[in-house]
Amino acid sequence: MEKLLLLMVLFATCYAAPQDLSGKAFVFPKQTSTAHVKLLTNKSKFNSVTACLRFFTDLSRQYSLFSLATPSHSNDFLIFKINSKDEIDASVRGKNARFLAVSLERNAWHSMCATWTSDTGVAQLWVDGKPTVKRFIHSGRPITGRPITILGQEQDSHGGKFDAQQSFIGMISEVHMWDYVLSPSEIQLYMSSDHFIPGNVFNWRELEFEIKGLVLVEDEHRLEISPIPIRSDTWRLY
């Protein structure tokens, strides 16, 4: 019975109610074209976006960090690491901008935030507390339509067409998304884990999500190398 329950958690876990994942991390241990985490929200229009997360990987190849697709655009809001270079692509409404000279040491935890607003079309990354230049991507139209947001894979269609060569291997934690652009001071609070306002679209402390395939949920302190402050919040499966 215990083995059956474990398999259910690893391969077909679905959470009907928001979960507090404080002190937890999603662990993606294998290159695959199937395993992923789907984040759930009722919101379907975004005039602006801020998405933040922490991640740890030893990959040098390309991989997806955050993939939001709608029926009209598979890359409606995407954060994507480019092959073996310290470069990140941010995509909005199918358009993209490349952020160069982003320092991403392997086998280390990193904090990243990406912002975009439809008013100006300008996007910016923040990596480990440091901002990049601001780059224009797409303006005038908000992100609209039923979103499917995926961690661990990059969507080439609305909710599918995953490529194992773009899958994420490692750990992802503290995922938050807001439907507005955070100020620099608010982003710094997130980076330092210091009493920031949780995301109003995705909130790591009240997260609705579904796990598909081999994705684990582990305490961050079990990962030993995590520099992220460990909270005492409890967590349990329902």
Residue 236 domain flag: no
Domain residues for the domain of 204 are 2-223
- pLDDT tens string 163-207: 999 999 999 999 999 999 999 999 999 999 878 999 999 999 999
What is the number of domains present in the chain? 1
Residue 229 domain flag: no
Lowest mean pLDDT among 63-67, 83-87, 120-124, 187-191: 83-87
Distance, in Å, from the CA atom of 220 to the CA atom of 106, rounded to the nearest integer, reads: 18
Q: Quick one: DSSP state of residue 94?
A: T
Q: What is the CATH number of the domain that holds 133?
A: 2.60.120.200
pTM for this predicted structure: 0.85
Sheet with 148-151, edge to edge strand ranges: 12-14, 209-212, 36-39, 148-151, 63-69, 77-81, 88-92, 95-99
Number of residues assigned to the chain: 238
Distance, in Å, from the CA atom of 179 to the CA atom of 199, rounded to the nearest integer, reads: 8
- pLDDT tens string 125-155: 999 999 999 999 999 899 999 999 999 999 9
Residue 122 domain flag: yes
Distance, in Å, from the CA atom of 32 to the CA atom of 135, rounded to the nearest integer, reads: 32
